[in-house]
Amino acid sequence: MSSLLSMFSVQEKTPAVDDLVREITNVISAVEIEQDYSPKGLGEHYKIKGEISYAVREGDNIYAVAATLRRAGVWVKPKQIIEWNNLTPPHYYLKPDTALTLYDLVWEPQLVVASWYGPGFHGKLMANAKIFDQNDIVAAHMYLPLGMKVRVTNVENGISIEVPITDRGNFEKYERGIDLSKQAAKVLGYHNSGTAKVLIEPLPSL
């Protein structure tokens, strides 16, 4: 901001220049306040980037709509589609040619404690309907969309990996923000300690 304002630091300021400098200062301050890049803690954290109008096609359901948006780089969850459009259970029927109101979301980074899971869940079904293998690089998160990749960095040693969100879990009650597979924990260097503080950075591209 100082470099921008220096362009107006003339010896003899006029009222017009003073007003312009004041206006620029106010605008920059407002933008800096709005753009909070600090990582969040536990919970569901996103900002709305914009609104999208989606025309329902024949055969669409909430999962197909979410998958279509995902291919376009827009990550929303079926649950959000239901809530935003007041869809009714049990089938959440989508009438062809009707418009759905959707939102393009920016999922925010998180600084949380990570744990890991393995033998007790090996071979069991995950939330994405696939079988969990503790030797795969996968992770469970309570809120991020299934299928989204995230970069997880162990802030204690600087090691990072990219991992897909494939599962859910109720581990926030233990103050944990993400649960990684046994193999992912080994790569990040906290398999023996059990937990580590990590930075989670959502990667919106497939």
* Whole-number pLDDT of residue 33: 41
* Whole-number pLDDT of residue 148: 96
Percent of the residues in the chain that have a pLDDT greater than 90, as a whole number:
68
Residue 90: cis peptide before it, omega within 30 degrees of 0:
yes
- 56: number of Cβ within 10 Å: 18
* Whole-number pLDDT of residue 25: 52
Which H helix or E strand runs over 187? helix 182-188
Q: Report how far apart, in Å, the C-alpha atoms of 93 and of each of 47, 57, 61, 63, 81 are.
A: 28, 12, 7, 12, 12
Q: Please indicate whether residue 118 or residue 19 has the higher confidence score (pLDDT).
A: 118
pLDDT digits 0-9 by tens, 82-139: 999 999 887 788 999 999 999 999 999 999 999 999 999 999 999 999 999 999 999 9
Written as one string, the DSSP assignment of 79-139 is HHHHHHHT--TTT----TTPEEEEEEEEEPPEEEEEEEE-TTTTTSB-TTSSB--TTS--E
At residue 4, does pLDDT exceed 50?
Answer: no
At residue 147, does pLDDT exceed 60?
Answer: yes
Report the alpha-carbon distance of residue 182 to residue 18 in Å, rounded. Answer: 61
* Whole-number pLDDT of residue 10: 42
Mean pLDDT estimate for the chain:
85
pLDDT digits 0-9 by tens, 29-72: 444 444 555 788 888 899 999 999 999 999 999 999 999 999 99
Q: Which domains does the chain have, with CATH numbers?
A: 46-107 (3.10.350), 110-203 (2.40.40.10)
Up-side HSE of residue 147: CA atoms within 13 Å toward CB? 17
